[in-house]
Amino acid sequence: MHGTDWDRFASGYSGQLYLERRAVDKLLDLLDVGSDERLLDVATGPAVVLDQLARRERRPEEAVGIDASREMLRRAPELPLGWVLQEGDARRLPFADGTFDVVSASYLLHVLDAADRRAVVAEVARVLRPGGRFGTLTVAPPLSAPARALTAPLRRAAERSEGKLRGMRPLDPAAELAAESLVETARARTFAGYPSLCVVARLERPEPYERVTLAG
């Protein structure tokens, strides 16, 4: 799905945000973003992750949210001074190598096809500094055989869908992360709201980049 696709869903998106918030809080707990770190939220939508992070006692001084949908960005709340929202493609992030200490992607990877998913994860690894952290939220794959059987019709329908139902595709992104030297350090599942999988990984690629300065 591209920015124009999400533009169509923007007006009704807020109606389901309560189903995301518990998992977003868990992801932020696992990422534990420091005040001196730079954070990028990829496919930020109406900035749910940034909004919840802004309410925390400890938060970064610099944060960027990027999304391909202008309509989604228009629905974001007011954010702290020094935090920026901008339009852009997650497959071609407009940032220099090694710009960010932390990158998050909430409910993005599972709606992409395999090629786009690989492209996004590669871009995340590029803009992370060595040792930086990437946190993802996806719809959790069922664990047990009864759960897999019970959810099979929904999963098949979600795989075929090009609309909102696509957002219910389950995904464990471990393989894509490992392919880009992103080594998993933590994972958790949440069941309040969407059954969600939170995964955090650290970039263990040798340091090839100097720390860069954000423009603006």
Q: Which domain holds residue 40?
A: 3-140+168-203
Instruction: Determine, yes or no, domain membership for 148.
Output: no
Instruction: Determine, yes or no, domain membership for 63.
Output: yes
pLDDT in tens, 90-103: 999 999 999 999 99
Instruction: Determine, yes or no, domain membership for 72.
Output: yes
Region 108-116 average pLDDT: 93
Instruction: Determine, yes or no, domain membership for 84.
Output: yes
Instruction: Determine, yes or no, domain membership for 213.
Output: no
Position 189 pLDDT exceeds 90: yes
- Of all residues in the chain, the percent with pLDDT exceeding 90 is 68
Instruction: Determine, yes or no, domain membership for 153.
Output: no
Predicted confidence at residue 214, as pLDDT, reads 56
Distance set, CA 209 to CA 118, 128, 180, 198 (Å) = 22, 10, 16, 28
Read off the CATH number of the domain in which 41 is found: 3.40.50.150
Count structural domains, the chain.
Answer: 1
The pTM for the full model equals 0.83
Say if strands 182-190 and 196-203 run parallel, antiparallel, or are unpaired.
antiparallel
pLDDT in tens, 179-188: 999 999 999 9
Cα(166)–Cα(40) distance, integer angstroms: 24
Instruction: Determine, yes or no, domain membership for 17.
Output: yes
| Residue bearing the bigger pLDDT, 156 or 189 | 189
Instruction: Determine, yes or no, domain membership for 116.
Output: yes
pLDDT in tens, 38-87: 999 999 999 999 999 999 999 999 999 999 999 999 999 999 999 999 99
